[in-house]
Amino acid sequence: MKPGYYGNWGGAFVPEILHETFRQLNAFFTEAQADPAFWRQYVDLMGSYSCRPTPLTLAENLTRRFGGASIYIKREDLNHTGAHKANNVMGQGLLVQRMGKRRVIAETGAGQHGVATATMAAKFGFECTIYMGEEDVQRQRPNVFWMEKLGATVVPVTSGSRTLKDAINEAFRDWVANMDSTHYVMGTVCGPHPFPAMVAWFQKIIGEEAKEQILAAHGRLPARVYACVGGGSNAMGIFQGFLADEEVELVGVEAGGEGLTSGRHASRLAAIPTTADTDGIPDATPGVAQGYKTMFLQDDDGQMKDTHSVAAGLDYIGVSPMLADLWERGRVRMTAATDTEVMEALQLAMASEGIIPALESAHAFVQAFKEAGELSPESAIIINQSGRGDKDIFTIAHAFKDPSWREFIRAKGEEYGKEPVS
Amino acid sequence: MSLTQQIRQAKADREILLMTHLVLGYPSFAVNREVIARMVAAGVEIIELQIPFSEPVADGPVILRANQEAIDRGVRVRQCLEFAAEMTAEHQIPFLFMTYYNILFKYGVEDFLAQARKVGVRGLIIPDLPPEEGEEYLAACRKHELAPIQIFAPTSSDERMAKLAGHGDGFIYCVARRGVTGAQTSFDREFDDYIARCRRATDLPLAVGFGISNRADVEMLKGKAEIAVIGSATIRLVEEHGPAAVTEFMEGLR
Ligand SMILES: Cc1ncc(COP(=O)(O)O)c(C=O)c1O
């Protein structure tokens, strides 16, 4: 198989101008991977700076409620900056140091990857520019605020659907002009080789920890592991701990948005078997875009479709080539959760366990809640809580139609309207 | 006659050839039609027809927007093929397709190239398809006698250029500088060294593009390249002054 391919998927479809940059990146990555001192440096950094190992929490109240498998939650929300994104970003930061570059750029959907990258840049002393779709800038305003305060320049992208896919294109354009000084910190296990391999390598720390922790806490492997899938990095991260254990079922949960037949979702793989003989549904088909081959939400001509999810971090046209391969080979089962189901699961998780998953992560909770009761009480399942929901306060408050929050925002707006910003 | 031979023959009467670019269906096929007629009448030797794609990563803001608006207006790949057939029947100069790989991949690479041949285009420029990923494409180009135009960049090493040249035909498209389409290019000593490296790597004619927008730019390329490529500049011109302005602009370029 060609390097950078996972079955039929992957590759490196990059413009010639970036060929040399990718050659160098590959060389530095391969060298780092072969150097045990590099991985130790990474683990130490994550331990002292990012709260690793993150705990595996037994959700006792939820377990009791569903009456089946013991529900464990892998707490990636406790990472510094509040999501699994920190793992990847700190790892790439160490690589950037090795490469001697001075500037990093990134794309971001939910803003979590942008905040993580801006944080890393502040810590390592790199210059930092973050590209973010204009629509996501609106949706994830608190994260924009943090990125700016951390010293990054946030560039709202107004082209296309003004979401993550367009931010990725803009980041590529920047890179093409500035590759000598700049590293592009890809946020997920997508894009041209070696990005999927590199991001998956840093994120495998989640799965390695989770496996050790579940064996210690429960005495056996979990029956199932659930993770939400946007690009697929938190999923690949935790799945890698269990890939070789065939008895562990791996379940990915994509964004079902307003439903798989609504035309407003971001579900690539999950939408396929259920809608095989239905017309007019924007199912994914094989394609090549943004530098790699995978299943994309595209039309008959190969133009990418608009996507939708209540969770900005899952609102993406493509999916990791690694997951496309695992799905095709039947190793990973793909499902989808709708926006409505996500809000219900979120509410339940908050009220019964006192934890606030990010809207992205809440997708994984939906599917786990649907299935936990089917399993025997001796078994265990793990939900990967990829991030915390604080960033989503505006979206969540809006969805819950919370009257006192509304009043607070209205009053704040009035207050700001009166006093000039100086 | 092969595309390379045709370029050499045209070059015999000219100090430099002009290749222009437009995005199909932007602002409309009717305007494309008029612009092309004016370009041909003004003596342009080669025209690049860009089939719009939703993720044109190698293009700058002007061409990006043109791609998007064309798609928003409902332009389909099938219409682009039909339009190309009409242009090749009407005008006697070589036309090329420029697009991104997904357009071919989704259509079926072999089928697309068979169609391209049928509509009379002579070659293709696919900026996101390095030869390592393009085996099927390169084989189908050979089979259908289409030129798979390869791209050199200032960052390409000598070995890389030699490899690319080995896969190319027609001419080599030399990207003048780092960055995407549409920004200014400076023609300095470094540029001359780069073009000299390109020349050593291939016997094929050289086209230079990215940031060529006026007579002075074209003048600078005389004696250095066979072809000057005018891209974003014509799109901007048509947007600001309408298709009629193309004649004077093209005639004034050399
Ligand atoms: C909390 C959280 N979870 C999940 C994702 C989706 O990314 P991935 O699928 O790569 O894990 C994001 C992306 O921004 C995120 O912020």
How many angstroms separate the first and last alpha carbons of chain B?
A: 26
Q: How many other C-beta atoms are found inside a 10 Å radius of the C-beta of residue A344? A: 15
Active site residue B48: yes
Q: Note the ipTM here.
A: 0.95
Q: Which residues pair with A337 in a beta bridge?
A: A255
Our answer on whether the CB atom of A361 is closer than 6 Å to any ligand 1 atom is yes
Asked if residues B165 and B198 have their Cβ atoms less than 8 Å apart, the reply is: no
Place of tokens 């793989």: A269
In chain A, where the domains are located = 5-49+84-196, 56-81+204-398
CB nearest B156 (choices: A14, A19, A300): A19
- Give me the tens of pLDDT residue by residue for chain B, a chain 254 residues long: 999 999 999 999 999 999 999 999 999 999 999 999 999 999 999 999 999 999 999 898 899 999 999 999 999 999 999 999 999 999 999 999 999 999 999 999 999 999 999 999 999 999 999 999 999 999 999 999 999 999 999 999 999 999 999 999 999 999 988 876 666 667 788 899 999 999 999 999 999 998 899 999 999 999 999 999 999 999 999 999 999 999 999 999 99
The band of A276, judged by pLDDT with boundaries at 50, 70 and 90, is very low
Determine the distance in angstroms separating the CA of A317 from the nearest CA of chain B, rounded to an integer. 11
A40 vs A309: CA distance, rounded Å = 37
Tens of pLDDT, residue by residue over A47-76, are 999 999 999 999 999 999 999 999 999 999
Q: Which residues pair with A286 in a beta bridge?
A: A295
Instruction: Confirm if A290 and A190 have CB atoms less than 8 A apart.
Output: yes
First to last CA, chain A: 60
Structure tokens at B100: 């991104």
CA B198 to ligand 1 center in whole angstroms: 43
As beta bridge partners, residue A266 has A255
At A233 the pLDDT is 98
**Nearest alpha carbon to residue B60 among B13, B9, B105, B127:** B127
Q: Which amino acid is at A356?
A: I
Angle at CA of residue B137, ends B132 and B139, nearest 5°: 95
The phi and psi torsions of B128 (rounded to 5 degrees) equal -105, 20
> What is the value of pTM for the model shown?
0.95
Tokens in use for A264? 């407003």
Q: Which residue has the tokens 């299943």?
A: A295
Average pLDDT for residues A31-45, to the nearest whole number? 98
Q: Which of A81, A112, A137, A229 to mutate to test the pocket of ligand 1 (most atoms within 8 A of CB)?
A: A112
Please tell me the class of the A5-49+84-196 domain: alpha beta
| Interatomic CA distance for residues B114 and B141, integer angstroms | 9
Q: Fold identical between A5-49+84-196 and A56-81+204-398?
A: yes
What does the pLDDT average to over A134-138?
89
Residue B126 · residue B97 · CB < 8 Å: no
A6: distance to nearest CA of chain B, Å?
14
Considering just the CA atoms, what is the radius of gyration of chain B in Å? 17
Nearest to A337 by CA among A283, A232, A265, A411: A265
B157 touches chain A (CB under 8 A): yes
- Dihedral of CA A305/A236/A189/A80: which sign? positive
For A109-172, give the DSSP string: SSSHHHHHHHHHHHHHT-EEEEEEEHHHHHHTHHHHHHHHHTTPEEEEE-STTSSHHHHHHHHH
Give the pLDDT score at A129.
Answer: 98
Instruction: For residue A323, give the H/E element and its range.
Output: helix A321-328
Side chain identity at residue A305, one-letter code: K
- Domain limits of chain B? 3-240
The domain made up of A56-81+204-398 is a member of CATH 3.40.50.150: no
Task: Retrieve residue B189's tokens.
Answer: 């000593």
* A191 in contact with ligand 1, CB cutoff 6 A: no
How distant, in Å, are the alpha carbons of A83, A93, A96, A213, A217 from that of A47?
A: 15, 15, 20, 16, 21
Q: With beta carbons under 8 A apart, name residues in chain A contacting B55.
A: 160, 165, 169, 289-290, 304
Size of the A and B interface in Cβ pairs below 8 Å: 113
B106 in contact with A at a CB cutoff of 8 Å? yes
The answer on pLDDT for A113 being more than 50 is yes
d(CA B206, CA A139): 48
CA-nearest residue, atom 13 of ligand 1: A313
Residue A237 CA, closest ligand 1 atom number? 11
From the list A186, A196, A187, the residue with the least C-alpha distance to A325 is A196
Q: What is the pLDDT of residues A184-223, one digit of tens each?
A: 999 999 999 999 999 999 999 999 999 999 999 999 999 9
For chain A, give the mean pLDDT. 94
- State the distance from the centre of ligand 1 to the C-alpha of A308, rounded, in angstroms: 15
A182 backbone dihedrals φ, ψ, rounded to 5°? -120, 140
The residues that bridge with B206 in the sheet, in sequence order, are B172
The string over B98-137, giving b where at least 16 C-beta atoms fall within 10 Å of a residue's C-beta and e elsewhere, is: bbbbbbbbbbebeebbebbbebebbbbbbbbbbbbbbeeb
Is pLDDT of A7 > 90? yes
Are residues A251 and A337 in contact, defined by beta-carbon separation less than 8 angstroms?
no
A274 has pLDDT over 70:
no
Of ligand 1's atoms, which has the minimum distance to the CA of residue A108?
Answer: 14
At A155, the amino acid letter reads V
Cα–Cα distance, A150 to A176 (Å, whole number): 25
Instruction: Give the C-alpha separation, A181 to B139, whole Å.
Output: 37
Single-letter residue type at B195: I
Residue closest to B152 by CA, chosen among B210, B222, B214, B67 = B210
Q: Quick one: which of B220, B205, B225, B207 has its CA closest to B253?
A: B220
Phi, psi (deg, nearest 5) at residue A289: -155, 160
Residue-level pLDDT at B182: 65
> What is the second-level CATH architecture of the domain B3-240?
Alpha-Beta Barrel (3.20)
Q: How many CB atoms neighbour CB A408 within 10 A?
A: 12
Q: Which of B106, B136, B190 best tests the A interface by mutation, with the highest count of A CBs <10 A?
A: B106
